[in-house]
Structure 1
Amino acid sequence: MHIASSLLAILLASIGCVSSANGASQYAPKQPPLTTPWTDEVGTNPWPEYPRPQLQRSEWKNLNGIWRYENATSLQSVQQPPFGKHLSQEVLVPSCLESALSGIQGQYMLNSWFSTSFTVPKSWEKQRVLLNFGAVDYEATVFINGRKAGFHRGGYFHFTVDGTSHVSFDRENELLVFVHDPTDNGDSVIPIGKQTLHPSHIFYTPCSGIWQSVWVESAPANHITQLDIDANMHGEVSATVHSSQKSGTPVEVAVHERNSGEVVAYHQARSPHLYNVTVRMGADHVRSYTGFRSISKGMVDGVVRPLVNGEFQFLFGPLDQGYWPDGLYTAPNREAMVYDLKVLKKLGFNMVRKHVKIEPALFYQACDEMGFLVIQDMPALRQKAPNAKQQAEFSRQLELMVKQLKNYPSIMTWVIYNEGWGQLIDGYPEFGLTKHVKEIDPTRLVDSTSGWYDHGAGDFSDNHHYANPQCGTPFYSLDSSPYDPSRIGFQGEFGGLGSNVSINHLWNVQEAIDTIDQTYEIDESLAAWNYRSHILLGELEDQIRRFACSGGVWTQTTDVEGEVNGLLTYDRRLLRVDEMQWRADIMKLYDAGAARSHTYMPAF
């Protein structure tokens, strides 16, 4: 079946799209420069799971699937919406317009129109009708039945449009979305991570459009808009229930055992307050979940250490970029997304650094369920100094990130800046941003500047160095900063060893292939790659035993386009690592950390 569907996809891509009766070309995936084992499994009803696991409602409809698409000539096109018109092409939602799975595989997708239709059950007639978007890159203007219903800016964040006054019940409703995504075009300075209109080595193909799930649901007039839940190591749970209306509506919170469903805690209040978790506020009823853990720092044997539930355990994980050759920012399906985490878990990693990208909520749920800690980066401004307005927007979106993700127990650290990208060197804004993040979320650590321009802000003294580590050591290089013993010594990036494999596992784009030799080190065979990895992990172990190293980030989980330094190739079909060797080497890192953990002072 997979062979047949693959051949069909290639055939359709080669002959062009087929026209439907209404004049819009029918959806067919394009042929990507590289496939994955899940490329042919995507189909036309992608990502059927409820997309928001920490605030779930029972009455909902998934709007993912085949939508219509048309390029817009300019940003001003938003003033002339094509109401009632069949847009010229079909597109898969969610997907990046630049990806093969979208059926478009375009370039310079600066302005775009999307449309679909949906019905609202008559049984929702006395409810609010909430239209939810997991993420749209970068600006979205939403129209329902010919009227503007909402606007959102920020390519990584979920948002909700209340469509109640715009929809008709028990009949078709027209949904039209205008998307503007400048990426790094012209003078644009926005949070984009590693996206660029001109891909080259460590910067990649951009993602434009509706790249996370879309769904519609019903809720009462006074409904829960956000849950803030924190459960600490002492068994204490605090929750704040945000509502759509200011009122003293009674709130009931109950915490259940996930397997048995037995209620283990219950609370009732008349104000925003307070835990598998169920929450009732008046007529609204939602499901969530939480986990018991505390993140802090403390002095252990005279060294400042990160503490999880009051104890120091060495942190080790890969730089995890979350790119896919067939879907770019959007994994083919949940199975594919979780596959990466399963590989890492099997090798013995206990953490991932989610690098300058924010994933769908289901990624963080998977980390919670698998016991992974997450160091979460803010998507970076790309290598340009922002003006005051752009800096204010970066600050606003940083706040959105923390508020959106702070419920996930797996997240232990927020990273504000990576390697100086978009970081203002004058005035040191990272101090103010760090303070603001800790005000929003006092339960996590903050790595203010991961690599390069470190002026002393935050909880980490974070060094980047390739290929060998310099973690909490009395030596450093010009492109980083000396270890600061008043903060946690951390190796934010190292490794990056490259191994060029056959064209069958490479992103088959000549411009990317031409930059492979820009990798920090190229090893001529997998045996040499594993030997060099063993040496570097041995260096890190030695630094843990001798100096003040508390954690490390190995570059990286997978190859990405012209980068060939992954534990896995970009197609996820080849695992470079000698599994027995790597598991043993990683365990030695944890043993070295445990040997430095005999005594500790209270967290601070």
Structure 2
Amino acid sequence: MKKLITTAALFLALAFNVKANDLPRKEYPRPQFEREDWINLNGTWTFDFDFGQSGVDRQLQNSEKFSKNIIVPFCPESELSGVKHTDFINCMWYQRKISIPAYWNGKKIFLNFGAVDYWCEIYIDGKKIQQHWGGSSSFAIDITRFVQAGNTHNLVIQVKDDLRGGKQTGGKQCTNFFSGGCSYTRVTGIWQTVWMEAVASEGLKDMVIRTDIDQKQLVATPSFYKESDNILEIILKDGDKVISKKQATCSNNTCIVLPVKNMKLWSPESPFLYELTYLVKDKSGKVLDKVESYTGMRKIHISDGIFYLNNQPYFQRLVLDQGYYPDGIWTAPSDEALKNDIILGKNAGFNGARLHQKVFEERYYYWADKLGYITWGESASWVMDVNDEIAARNFISEWSEIVVRDRNHPSLVTWTPFNETWGSRDGSYPRLIRDIYHMTKAMDSTRPINDASGDDHVLTDIWSVHNYEQDGKRLSEQLIFKEGEEPYRNSRDKKYLAVYEGQPYMVDEFGGIGWMAPEERKNSWGYGNLPQTEEEFYTRLQGQVEALKGAKHVMGFCYTQLTDVEQEKNGIYYYDRTPKFDMKRIKSIFELIPSSHTNLK
């Protein structure tokens, strides 16, 4: 990664009497599309709650200071925000000043948000700029015509969050006052990094990368803020060695093919990453825009019920990771914490994670790419009524932003838009699933789609089921495929659902074995009856893994879960990330099924 704090960021930090190194989450938030000239807007903002939702009537959009302080990017429910208000927050307002460097004159200026839960409206100097729907998706706002280089402006953001209305995504946020079962503390407002960036008007807007290992080439499809007769140059490097270099006109019709000789493949076992540099140059050779990126040469495909990585059958040993933190809730306290969660998973014998009911920030994917850890990208679909047409409309726009943001990451191998849609009904639900499936394929045809984790499948590339049978022998019996019968599944009585047609069969939730101190058992839970001894835990876990290993058609599993989360005590690590067990023994159990293992029919 390049510089974390730029000259512009230092200027802004000094203006607000904040040391640049003290900024929370100071690293560049978009590591696959990184520019050097940016300003991190994390840190102290002012805010007020607006439970009566009367703020616009009271002209709060013109406020230059609110009565309370909050540390962005942490949500007000979290300890790290300095607020820790855990009751429902239906509306709140944020404020801070933003200073635009004088040398940004003549450039496009963007205000970027990692994520704001759920709806927000942005004002600059009292003028309404834009609205955004979607609690988990990143978005950028062009504020060029609302600000002036060399000036300071007043930024105000109104946030609304109707978690219990059924029209929005919420994931595992609890719709009751107290956390309970497998639902936890809520998240409201800004919960990922906010930053500004200056870009040439002819600059690069986006880049879609396809890694074609069969033809040993990388295919790059750019789009620009303004098409021109300037030149786009792409440089592919292995360390200091240039592997390939191509130039093309800055047109949205351009498709650039870079040959990759002596290709090094990406996998969890060997996570090699090539560096990429994108340069937009004028006719004299002057660089107008420079973006740093990277890629991993790898191929994902499915065939005859088998999942392939780089044309080899690959068994996915996944762990359920919900991405909750005791002090930050949905927001990792540091970049190192994101990295550490992946290291914990690898140390426990997993080769990847199903990122569950939360859209993880891009920095997590960066570390998964770098460390070698496959991931399943999932929405925060819970609490949304999947049968409601307005909810469907909201979901479509949010999911499309998620797919576009993350589709270049080599670690991401499966899209999972929904989870356990048990309350689905005929009508809007199957239509929504089909629309999401086809829309996702249009944006990214390179990955399989698991339409609804745990069944209620309508149109899917992966046949996923959830099975929390605790006894290994009974689990083995349930996973036997019988001629002329559908395999074990969670939903059978809904006529609009798909029937199994030979897709890769994955038990993408199992285990969930509770383990907790005796004094915690009254208000905590795990799946099944609790083991009485640590040895009983190991025996039960090994029995379940051996059942999966012996199941003829199972192509992968996902164990519930990486860490405890609040009252749910079925992690293999405690909520604070300390180990519960002998992790060498845990690792040996999960690795009873090697990555190269496949149960061929």
TM-score when normalising by structure 2:
0.84
Pick one of 488, 493, 515 that aligns with 1:499. 515
CA distance in 2, matches of 1:145, 1:472: 65
CA distance in 2, matches of 1:52, 1:334: 12
Partner-residue secondary structure (3-state), 2:235: strand
* Contact 2:385-2:391 within 8 A present in 1 as well: no
The residue type equivalent to 2:298 in the other structure is R
* Contact 2:465-2:489 within 8 A present in 1 as well: no
Partner-residue secondary structure (3-state), 1:516: coil
How much does 1:157 deviate? Answer: 1.2
Deviations 1:126-178 (A, max 9, x none): 21221111111111211122222222111111111122222233343211111
Between stretches 307-316 and 215-224, larger displacement belongs to 215-224
Q: Give runs of aligned pairs for residues 67-216 of structure 1, distance below 5 A.
A: 67-78=45-56, 80-106=59-85, 107-184=87-164, 187-198=165-176, 199-216=179-196
CA distance in 2, matches of 1:421, 1:254: 48
* Contact 1:133-1:159 within 8 A present in 2 as well: yes
Cα root mean square deviation, aligned: 2.5
Deviations 1:181-217 (A, max 9, x none): 1122xx3321111112313111111111110001111
* Contact 1:559-1:568 within 8 A present in 2 as well: yes
Partner-residue secondary structure (3-state), 1:463: strand
CA distance in 1, matches of 2:296, 2:489: 41
CA distance in 2, matches of 1:471, 1:320: 24
Partner-residue secondary structure (3-state), 1:497: coil
Between stretches 474-483 and 114-123, larger displacement belongs to 474-483
Which residue number in structure 2 is paired with residue 459 of structure 1? 461
Partner-residue secondary structure (3-state), 2:450: strand
The residue type equivalent to 1:360 in the other structure is E
How much does 1:557 deviate? Answer: 0.6
Which residue number in structure 1 is paired with residue 593 of structure 2? 589
* Contact 1:197-1:205 within 8 A present in 2 as well: no
CA distance in 2, matches of 1:585, 1:480: 30
Pick one of 522, 527, 534 that aligns with 2:542. 534
Pick one of 33, 39, 44 that aligns with 1:66. 44
Which residue number in structure 2 is paired with residue 418 of structure 1? 419
CA distance in 1, matches of 2:52, 2:479: 48
Partner-residue secondary structure (3-state), 1:374: strand
Q: Does 1:264 align with 2:243?
A: yes
Partner-residue secondary structure (3-state), 1:87: coil
Pick one of 432, 435, 454 that aligns with 1:432. 435
Question: Gaps (5+ residues) in structure 1?
Answer: 1-26, 28-41, 507-512, 600-604
CA distance in 1, matches of 2:417, 2:319: 18
How much does 1:225 deviate? Answer: 2.0
How much does 1:116 deviate? Answer: 1.1
CA distance in 1, matches of 2:237, 2:152: 39
* Contact 2:300-2:310 within 8 A present in 1 as well: yes
Q: Percent same amino acid at aligned positions?
A: 28
Which residue number in structure 2 is paired with residue 488 of structure 1? 504
Question: Gaps (5+ residues) in structure 2?
Answer: 1-17, 259-274, 282-287, 493-497
Q: Does 1:479 align with 2:458?
A: no
* Contact 1:460-1:487 within 8 A present in 2 as well: yes
CA distance in 2, matches of 1:277, 1:569: 38
How much does 1:477 deviate? Answer: 5.7
TM-score when normalising by structure 1:
0.84
Partner-residue secondary structure (3-state), 1:589: coil
CA distance in 2, matches of 1:414, 1:471: 24
Between stretches 315-324 and 175-184, larger displacement belongs to 175-184
Which residue number in structure 2 is paired with residue 448 of structure 1? 451
Between stretches 172-181 and 462-471, larger displacement belongs to 462-471
Q: Does 1:241 align with 2:222?
A: yes
Between stretches 269-278 and 48-57, larger displacement belongs to 269-278
Which residue number in structure 2 is paired with residue 56 of structure 1? 34
How much does 1:596 deviate? Answer: 4.1
Which residue number in structure 2 is paired with residue 338 of structure 1? 339
How much does 1:62 deviate? Answer: 0.9
* Alpha-carbon distance change, 189 to 256 in structure 1, aligned in 2, over 3 angstroms: same
Number of residue-to-residue matches in the alignment? 536
How much does 1:348 deviate? Answer: 2.3
